[in-house]
Structure 1
């Protein structure tokens, strides 16, 4: 029997951007191409440092006369501050939209739009990965009980689902000013364009894509035990990965690809005992992980 769940994502915050310059303002800043985005479309993107390091990720929701940014709640104030810094004389107004809207996730087997209540403002497939399920933008007063034929779930349940798929998020897994975009699987998660014009951090991101080796990637792991973000994962006493996020029994770790591949090839158990790192289905890795240059 298929099981479907709905969770209110309390760790998400919504920023409203309005004004005649909104589209061009964001297009010049973020990693994805918004030139073809139309009302109702949702695009995944990030804001980087000028040196190409990660700062914020968000879903950009086109509402016609304004745009909503669905981002991590604990980092929303910093995102608003940085956008304001870049705004200068652009006709862009930034506002908190959390009193008007909230975000739900519908996930599980055979998730259908029929579960979504009529009061919902917008429902859309998560643009990062289809198996993440649907997201629903709804009035802030709406509760899980308004959804039909689905089981109420917690934020932790949704995080476990997301981590089981190996999908990282800023604010919980991707570290600001430390991680690079392609380490966090942004290309496969539809979060970066390599054909649009310039944006903040574009040069380093493009160079990494076309010239450099990506030696570390966010990979999924499973552990029936306890572990914390920042804890090392080792093979034969040598660190091969660092935990970035965990919602038991699923987690995600920034993994040194060559060392992990060697441990898998040689059947070396990892520590903590019982921990297994695996490549998420959506991630594409190079074929030459055994080479000296990898």
Structure 2
């Protein structure tokens, strides 16, 4: 299923609820390498990554922008169960030659997509598969996948996501002259349509597992990297576990297949599977609606339920007072195939 209202024109939108931390100093790369789930190679470079708890659950999904003497880390600043990122970093600095400070008041964060400049560097996606169901992008490019431009990051979490821009507080990006300026809600709709989870609503800190949250598909995990916080459980899952859940984009429709534009009031709603033949036992487990807007959202679902919906044997539903809303998952065209042998019946 492809969203008919997917925005394709060159577009620019602010990204709300984001904060920035500066990590500088001669040992900034070594310092972050011990805390983040992706590897550091050579000079500071842009990238997407995550910070995990010692038990392997996600605390923050982050963007890193390389600077001359360190990094700027962008993260969701809304209150959560996770410790403050600055206090967490300062707890680990010890004697490292590293300086940590907030620079949130110095920059605004924007997303840009739809123009040649926003996607001309895209390449066809290829994947590394693990028997567990973990999936990694295989970057087939001589360029650094996330780009090397100052304060501009290629958003490779999903094809079509465009670029991430840091702009001095109060200014507008140069793209404002050539792109339609849209709202933060338009960015949310764009992100959902590409199947990209982000921030505390989609990846609840101290609760979400990184692979369930698609951090592997989005390039935010390195399973071959040496020791970092949360590495043991993540790598064990990669080699010996079985991935049973994933975040998927979904459409919300009524019993007639018409769009239900009430997604925002349904966030965190429980999604229950129901067989189309009452003679069969109800499938086990439930799902959960995460970020949503209009008639679309992201939902954490069991892979067996997604497969059953595609096979026509199960419906996923949210109970709302006296009616039921059908939840229809769709697999974005850039994603690895859900029916791959390593994922089917996971």
* TM-score, normalised by the number of residues in structure 1: 0.88
1:159 equivalent among 140, 164, 188: 188
Structure 1 residues 57-206: aligned runs within 5 Å: 57-74=61-78, 78-108=84-114, 110=116, 112=118, 122-143=151-172, 147-206=176-235
8 A contact 2:159–2:194 mirrored in 1:
no
C-alpha distance in structure 2 between counterparts of 1:249 and 1:268, whole Å: 20
Q: Does 1:246 align with 2:252?
A: no
Structure 1 residues 21-40: aligned runs within 5 Å: 21-36=27-42, 38-39=43-44
What is the Cα-based RMSD across aligned positions, in Å?
2.6
Q: Does 1:265 align with 2:327?
A: no
Aligned-pair distance for 1:113? 9.0
Distance 1:231 1:287, change over 3 A: same
What is the CA deviation profile of residues 27-54 of structure 1, one whole-angstrom value per residue up to 9, with x for unaligned ones? 0111001124x34x31111111111011
8 A contact 1:42–1:127 mirrored in 2:
no
2:272 equivalent among 230, 234, 240: 234
What is the CA deviation profile of residues 150-178 of structure 1, one whole-angstrom value per residue up to 9, with x for unaligned ones? 11111111011001111101222101111
Question: Which ranges in structure 1 are unaligned for 5 or more consecutive residues?
Answer: 115-119
8 A contact 1:17–1:94 mirrored in 2:
yes
Distance 1:289 1:104, change over 3 A: closer
8 A contact 1:13–1:73 mirrored in 2:
yes
- More moved, 256-265 vs 9-18: 256-265
1:117 corresponds to: none
2:26 equivalent among 2, 10, 20: 20
What is the CA deviation profile of residues 103-141 of structure 1, one whole-angstrom value per residue up to 9, with x for unaligned ones? 111123545499xxxxx9632311322411111121112
C-alpha distance in structure 1 between counterparts of 2:78 and 2:268, whole Å: 19
Aligned-pair distance for 1:268? 3.1
Distance 1:54 1:4, change over 3 A: same
1:46 corresponds to: 50
* TM-score, normalised by the number of residues in structure 2: 0.75
* 1:234 partner SS: strand
C-alpha distance in structure 2 between counterparts of 1:88 and 1:106, whole Å: 38
2:129 corresponds to: none
Number of residue pairs matched? 285
8 A contact 2:154–2:163 mirrored in 1:
yes
* 1:84 partner SS: helix
2:327 corresponds to: 275
Question: Which ranges in structure 2 are unaligned for 5 or more consecutive residues?
Answer: 1-6, 121-148, 253-258, 275-281, 319-324
8 A contact 2:63–2:74 mirrored in 1:
yes
What is the CA deviation profile of residues 51-90 of structure 1, one whole-angstrom value per residue up to 9, with x for unaligned ones? 1011111011110212100111225971112111122222
- More moved, 131-140 vs 255-264: 255-264
2:132 corresponds to: none
8 A contact 1:61–1:69 mirrored in 2:
yes
